[in-house]
Amino acid sequence: MENSLSNLKPSNVWKHFYELTQIPRPSGHSEAITLFIENFGKKLGLETLRDPANNICIRKPATKGYENRPTIILQSHLDMVPQANSDIQFDFTKDTIQPYIDGEWVKAKGTTLGADNGIGVATTMAILEANDLEHGPLEGLFTTDEETGMYGAIAVRPGFINGKIMLNLDSELDGELYIGCAGGEDVTVQFQYKDEEWIPKEDVAVKVSLTGLKGGHSGVDIHLGRANANQLLFRFLKDATQTYDIRLASVSGGSLRNAIPREAFALIVVDGKEQYKKIQQMVAGYEDLFNQELKGIENKITFKAEFAEITPEIKLIPKDIQHRFIHAINGCPNNVINKFAEIPDTVETSINMAIVQSSEGLIEVKFLARSSSESKKQAICSSIESIFTLAKAEFIEAGNGYPGWDPNPKSAVLAVMEKVFETQRGKKPKVEVMHAGLECGIILSNVPGLDTVSFGPTIKFPHSPDEKVEIATVQKFWDYLTAILKQV
């Protein structure tokens, strides 16, 4: 594919970003991208380290006259969220992203773009290879598997990085500096059962599909009030089971713990073609209802009921399990739980019903809880546990917790960054606490004492196929970062 980004500025950043789009790098598949970054550092003749978690650290000496400056760590993660529209065939472990320019933005054809955090990685690469910048000693820290559990950050240890200042390049709004973030924890629930194989001859199968939602990042976008496809689907299923006594064969909604589900599907079995027609009418009614309720928040939501053949592979979830499962999902909290009292526009606690999936004899539900308050994070996890305990789920577990990042408004590097910003743009930056999880809190827990700020260019709708990066802000980001490196 021709590199359509080659004429964008700053050219070296976009050159490296395009290279990254051509290397499959979904979370959990870091082999190729890790080797690429490792070879990049070695080809530059720079000290290049790899740790057991496949994190890479590339060290660049100070330019002349800057040898006594503190070492600055430029930190970003190598993996990307693999999300594609259901109408395209795409294998994130083999296929390459197809970026293109759409006016003032760079997007990808039908998939996530990987600007989260590919722009941070590409910018660090451009700085490491540049010979015309002024800076103290630098360390480029490239971490693995951030999107699935921040496993690379968890493995970072003193000695692998030696800097005292860390600039995290994984924020997504130009003009905003982040000095804190929420912690997170996964909750996994399972119902186990024996499939029912007998289906009356007159019954018919119906595939119910809910698509067209915006989705997005469950931290960055959670405050926007976007719909959760799982929640909407189960709202319908509760009504349908109570009205027509339908049976549930399978369900599938969401695919990533930190993405708001955009699509959800169910296979149901109904009592003959007449009832199928009534289900179609009910689905059409819910489609109108959802679009009316979410007007101005979502685009066009599509809700369909389509005839499907009864095949020997179709099995039914036992009626008692179906009843407890559907009611538990309907009773679960989802979305924003509360905001900071002292920062009214900032989310403090949220929960995302990320994945609902059934397979042979097993239903699995996965949530991601976030909060800047450890006690409130534990409280929302406990709430989920209570709901599914009452529903007699066989397995309930909270785990993979990671700490939040406590803000430090008196940060020395923040003071420098505020001055540089005001000099460049004639106004002060916004200093914020982010609800999304950043690796900063984890790295700080392992390497205490780092003076840390997170920032980046404007990226909209990360973790969804609508992801896009604003071209002009990438140049601003580059100009700002290189000025900081000179001034700190």
Phi, psi for residue 129 in degrees, rounded to 5: -95, -10
Q: CA-to-CA distance for 330 and 243, rounded, in angstroms?
A: 16
Q: What share of the chain is helix, strand, coil (3-state, %, to 5)?
A: 30, 30, 40
The question of whether 418 is a catalytic residue gets the answer: no
Burial state string for 413-446 with b = 16 or more CB within 10 A and e = fewer than 16: bbebbbebbeeeeeeebebbbbbbbbbbbbbbee
In DSSP notation, 424-444 reads: HHSSPPEEEEESS--THHHHH
Q: CA-to-CA distance for 219 and 371, rounded, in angstroms?
A: 10
The question of whether 31 is a catalytic residue gets the answer: no
Question: If phi over 0 gives left and psi between -120 and 50 gives alpha, with beta otherwise, what is residue 54?
Answer: left
Cβ neighbourhood burial of 354 (10 Å; 0-12, 13-18, 19+): buried
In DSSP notation, 22-89 reads: TS--BTT--HHHHHHHHHHHHHTT-EEEE-TT--EEEEEPPPTT-TTSPPEEEEEE--B---B-TTS-
* Strand, helix or coil for residue 406: coil
Of 79, 186, 263, 298, the active-site residue reads 79
The 10 Å Cβ neighbour count of residue 58 is 23
157 and 450 in contact (C-beta within 8 Å)?
no
Of 139, 146, 172, 186, the active-site residue reads 146
Radius of gyration of the chain measured on its C-alpha atoms: 24
Cβ neighbourhood burial of 207 (10 Å; 0-12, 13-18, 19+): middle
- Where in the sequence numbering do the catalytic residues fall? 79, 146
